[in-house]
Structure 1
Amino acid sequence: MFRPTWQQVLGHGLYLGAMSAVASVTTGVIVALAWPGRSGPPGWVWLALIGGPLLLGAAAGMVAGRRTGVEVGAGGIRTSSVFEEGEAPWHRVVDLRAERRGRRNVVSVYLDTGASVQLHAPYSGGLFAADPQFELKVFTLSHLWRSHRFGGLPS
């Protein structure tokens, strides 16, 4: 089983929270411009507009991050996330490799149909997305795939 590291989950949660806070503050600025009087809304409203979405987004990101992962078994590779699930049986996998996609290194699985599937974990990137054991995890996945593809049991 491969899941995002706790740093990756925290980073994803903070990103979602920050985007939610930006949207909330933007809405607050629009409301403040239309607020009757010159003083605008009280100070606690701004704190709520920043803190509330930031905390809710961070919590949602952490819950979603812990539900995201890849399960490797005798039947193949099974991916799961909050929004989608998929399975790639070993007999359909023709290649498995690490690739650079955007600012991240990800694992891509190529199927005999010509389609490629980007796994939700493991991945590595900068700052919070870094995974110090990314290469080891890719090696483990590759070893399991080769063992099923060409015979023999993983040692």
Structure 2
Amino acid sequence: MSLQKQIMDAMKTAMKEKNAVALESLRAVKSAILLAQTESGAKAELSEDQEMKILQKLVKQRKDSAAIFTEQGRDDLAQPELAQAAVIEQFLPEQLGEEEIAAVVDQIIAQTGASSMKDMGKVMGMASGKLAGKADGKTISTIVKQRLSS
């Protein structure tokens, strides 16, 4: 089932359950997908990778907003953002743990023969491609830096 169909089904369920947080989150996803489809040069159908990138972007935006609100002592604003992020994350594939990401990064470092921070771009490019949708870029970057600096 396509992501758009899943989103529409979830929206119908959220409407029936009168779940405002889920409905707002799902509408944001639907809007982002429609926007991506109507961009100049875009195909009518988005690839699965493009859909995952849109979902990851929306989750990251909400988590970043929540972090800013928490820093400013506004937990009343941070909680809805985290709740929306949780709703959107349901449509992402299972996220890998740090150990699993580290194993993939170690494998890439061994394949490329990377030995210093100069090789970070090469390793990050391969790791980001291999772990697309399964891990966020910040976590990947942190692990790559740890491995290459030691």
TM-score bucket (shorter structure): under 0.3
Q: TM-score, normalised by structure 1?
A: 0.26
More strand by share: 1
Structure ranking higher in helix proportion: 2
